[in-house]
Homo-oligomer: A and B are copies of this chain.
Amino acid sequence: MNVMPNPLTKDRSATHGSYLRLRDMILTGDLPPGQKLKIEELRSLLDTGASPVREALSLLTSDMLVERIDQRGFRAAPVSKANFEEILALRCMLEEKALRASLAGADSSWEEQLVLAHHRMKKAAQKGDNGFEEAHKAFHMALLANANMPMLERYCAQLYDLNIRYRNLAARGPRYRTRSVQNEHQEILEASLKRDADLAARLLIDHYRNTGNYLSSQMDA
């Protein structure tokens, strides 16, 4: 039998572990936008070698969370209002497309997955679980999961994360308060289960625009 040294260190590889941790630090704002990411610092922070760190950072450039400038290293991707608004616009366009495709081929298996994802999210929200973020993303991805368009889903997942980053950054600032969005989720779920593509798409986009406009207004101040 193999006793595992640390439940958290059940990493598939140093690179993958570094990737997850760095990604998390950027999404939460722990590594602030624009910050220079020095190999040596990260190496000692993550307690690993330079190669895994470099490779993890290279992978994070795919996610547009890290910028790479040849011969002069890496930095956490900068943020701007324009960038946020582009993310919002792209999300509305791509998720609408994906949701409609998902609904078009809806079957009971997908329906059940969706109900399940929604249930888990609600439950996580009630007990103030820190697993809510994960469940929230899972619900939104479940909506699109039946589109059978892997690249489109990948883009949506990427944009989702970028959006969450802005939300987290705003939450660090002053006078930030969360909107209650549980009923919006409920409505989106119900419209989807009724296969009402137009309604579901409208509700989903409104859901994004509402949160988005609030965050956008925060960025002026």
Query: Which A residues fall within an 8 A CB radius of B?
Result: 12-13, 15-16, 51, 54-55, 58-59, 61-62, 64, 68, 70-71, 83, 86-87, 89-90, 93, 97, 149-152, 155
Distance in angstroms between the alpha carbons of A15 and B90 in the assembled complex: 31
For A12, the closest partner residue in chain B by CB is B70
Closest to A147 in B: B86
Q: Which of B51, B58, B151 is the one whose CB lies under 8 Å from A90?
A: B151
Protomer copies: 2
Q: Is the interface of A mostly helix, strand, loop or mixed?
A: helix
Known pairs A55-B58, A61-B59, A93-B97; A71 contacts B149 (CB<8 A): no
Report the separation of the CA atoms of residues A68 and B13 in the bound assembly, to the nearest whole angstrom. 13
Asked if residues B152 and A70 are in contact (CB atoms below 8 Å), the reply is no
**Can you list 8 A-B contacts (CB < 8 A)?**
A51-B51, A55-B55, A83-B150, A86-B152, A89-B149, A90-B149, A90-B151, A93-B97
What is the minimal beta-carbon distance from A39 to any residue of chain B, in angstroms?
Answer: 12
Residues on B with beta carbons closer than 8 Å to the beta carbon of A155: 155
Q: Is the CB of B61 within 8 A of A151?
A: no
Docked CA distance A51–B89 (Å): 38
